[in-house]
Amino acid sequence: MNKIALARCGSYERNEVEKAVHQCLAELGGLGRWIAPGQKVLVKPNILAAEPPEKGVDTHPEVVRAVLKALLESGARPIVGDSPGVGSLARAAEKAGIAAACRELGVPLAAFNEEVEVRTAPDGKILKSFPLAREVTEVDVVINLPRVKTHGLTRLTGAVKNLFGCVVGLHKGEMHFRLQRADVFQEMLIDLALTVKPALTLVDGVMAMEGAGPRNGDLRFMGLILAGENPFAVDAAIARLVGLEPTEVPVLALAAKRGITGIKESEMELLGEKLEDLLIPDFNVPAAKNMINLRVPDWVVRLFRRFVSPYPVIREHCRRCLVCMQACPAKVISVAHGQMVIDDQHCIRCYCCQEFCPHDAIELKVPFGGRLI
Ligand code: SF4
Ligand code: SF4
């Protein structure tokens, strides 16, 4: 049975976060279940971009701090690492308040610069190996620390999607380019989660992000920390909390098809707070755009992607900072006559531009054909 612990957390006030983190860990049997004194532990928060904690883009520093403190108290040797899609980890972690938490506790921060090619787990399906950050391969245990947010490509980003940050820098863009079908890309995310195999996932669900996440959405109070061993079960719990059937989240639908357990309600044991008391049924999740791709064969996707999949549109208040141009794996964004222009014909609908735009200047529009389907 997949145990998921839920603890209320009404704010990012230090004592409250520490209490909720401890509560989750205690419900699951304590850190000693996964970590022995002296072991090296990689803590992998979501450090997407250089944004202050109040914007809710990155895992909140108080959640990172509380987990690091618990690890140090248990005698572990933690490090914190990630590979933001755009810009340096040092800058992003500094702005997010995570670098300060690390300094205070004497925990090193590891920018994932060096890669090691790691064979995909035997039950993998899409890629034979992954260019993972060296740190991921050198530690004894990985602890996954995502935040509850929406995402244009995957609908929700939580435990499984957060592990994409274990792939070193530019390779993430390459993967978007190689695996252009949304369902294939998400099968790859499943392979990755099975390969990285975090021992534990603790989720920052105090202030979640809804709407145009993962960077430009609206903050929504959720008031909880949740935790579990199985990242698929953790994401299934998040889906249920925001009023979705887990299989309405493409990555979970695909994982369920593969026979991965923890996704059905009957395969999950909830501990602590009751999930029903924490539900947000009107949480604004992007439409099931990518389910479109799951329902039609490959040739249809290739032929008609332009007519059914949401397409990015640059809004008037674009500040021409060029971040989207750098983030676009297909290199289809350019500047013409002082304006940012997207070559729609060659756009692969990966939505990296929308994910990384620092000014909420990219909107995803669903074409008529997509709305019909
Ligand atoms: S769309 Fe966003 S990322 Fe692209 S140039 Fe404009 S403001 Fe910058
Ligand atoms: S324009 Fe945006 S959605 Fe299209 S390929 Fe580039 S990053 Fe992906």
The pLDDT of residue 304 is above 90: no
Ligand closest to 185 (CA) is 2
Query: Cα(337) to centroid of ligand 1, in Å?
Result: 15
* pTM: predicted TM-score of the whole model, two decimal places: 0.93
State in Å, rounded, how far the first CA of the chain is from the last one.
37
What local confidence, expressed as pLDDT, does residue 369 receive? Answer: 72
Atom 5 in ligand 1: residue holding the nearest Cα: 320
Q: Where are the beta strands (DSSP E) in 26-128?
A: 40-45, 77-82, 109-111, 115-119
Confidence (pLDDT) at 308: 75
Question: Which ligand has an atom closest to residue 312 CA?
Answer: 2
The pLDDT value recorded for residue 296 is 65
Main-chain dihedrals φ then ψ at residue 42, nearest 5 degrees: -95, 120
Report how far ligand 2's centroid is from the alpha carbon of 338 (Å).
19
What per-residue confidence (pLDDT) applies to 355?
92
Cβ neighbours for 190, distance < 8 A, ≥ 6 positions apart: 125, 160, 251, 254, 255, 258, 260
Cα separation, 257 vs 247, in Å, equals: 10
Mutational test site, ligand 2, from 346, 347, 354, 363, max ligand atoms within 8 Å of CB: 347
Closest atom of ligand 1 relative to the 360 alpha carbon: 2
Report CA torsion sign: 244, 186, 324, 292: negative
Contact by Cβ (8 Å): 50, 96: yes
The pLDDT assigned to 288 comes to 66
CATH 3.40.50.11440 occupies which residues in the chain?
2-278
What are the tens digits of pLDDT across the range 194-236? 999 999 999 999 999 999 999 999 999 999 999 999 999 999 9
The residue with greater pLDDT, 345 or 19, is 19
Q: Does residue 294 carry a pLDDT above 90?
A: no
Q: What pLDDT band is residue 289 in, cutting at 50, 70 and 90?
A: low
Q: What is the pLDDT of residues 162-185, one digit of tens each?
A: 999 999 988 999 999 999 888 899
CATH fold for domain 306-372: Alpha-Beta Plaits (3.30.70)
User: How far does the centroid of ligand 2 lie from the alpha carbon of residue 249, in Å?
Assistant: 21
Gap from CA of 38 to ligand 2 centroid (Å): 44
* Residue entry with tokens 């534990």: 200
Which residue matches tokens 């944004």? 51
Residues 88, 90: Cα–Cα separation, whole Å: 5
Give the tokens for residue 168.
């070193």
Confidence band for 295, pLDDT divided at 50, 70 and 90: low
Q: 């049997």: which residue's tokens?
A: 29
d(CA 110, CA 70): 19
What is the distance between the alpha carbons of residues 289 and 353, in angstroms, rounded to a whole number? 17
How many whole angstroms from its chain centre is CA 121? 20
- pLDDT for position 127: 94
351: exposed, middle or buried (Cβ count in 10 Å: 0-12, 13-18, 19+): buried
Per the CB < 8 A criterion, the answer to whether 266 and 233 are in contact is no
Distance between Cα 315 and ligand 1 center (Å) = 9
**Each residue's pLDDT tens digit, 82-102:** 998 778 999 999 999 999 999
Q: Which of 290, 343, 349, 357 to mutate to test the pocket of ligand 2 (most atoms within 8 A of CB)?
A: 349
SS3 content of the chain, % helix, strand, coil (to 5): 40, 25, 35
Q: For residue 213, what are its two tokens?
A: 């996440």
Q: List all residues 6 or more positions away from 303 whose beta carbon is below 8 Å from its beta carbon.
A: none
Residue 120 carries which DSSP code? P
Contacts by residues 170-175 (CB-CB < 8 Å, ≥ 24 positions apart): 171/115, 171/131, 172/83, 172/85, 173/85, 173/327, 173/328, 173/329, 173/352, 174/329
β-pair partners for 313: 363
Is the pLDDT confidence value at 300 over 80?
A: no
> Mind listing the pLDDT tens digit for each residue in 311-359?
999 999 999 999 999 999 999 999 999 999 999 989 999 999 999 999 9
More confident residue, 7 or 308: 7
Beta bridge partners of 82: 111
For a ligand 1 pocket test, name from 323, 334, 347 the mutation site with the most ligand atoms within 8 angstroms of its C-beta: 323
The superfamily CATH assigns to domain 2-278 is LarA, N-terminal domain (3.40.50.11440)
Q: What does each C-alpha distance from 51 to 46, 96, 105, 270 come to in angstroms?
A: 12, 6, 22, 33
| Residue ranges matching CATH 3.30.70.20 in the chain | 306-372
Q: Is the pLDDT of residue 67 over 90?
A: yes
Spacing, Cα 75 to ligand 2 middle (Å): 45
Which amino acid belongs to residue 278? L
How far apart CA 191 and CA 304 sit, in angstroms, is 27
What is the distance in A from the centroid of ligand 2 to the CA of 188? 19
Whose structure tokens read 């520093």? 61
Name residue 343's amino acid. Answer: D
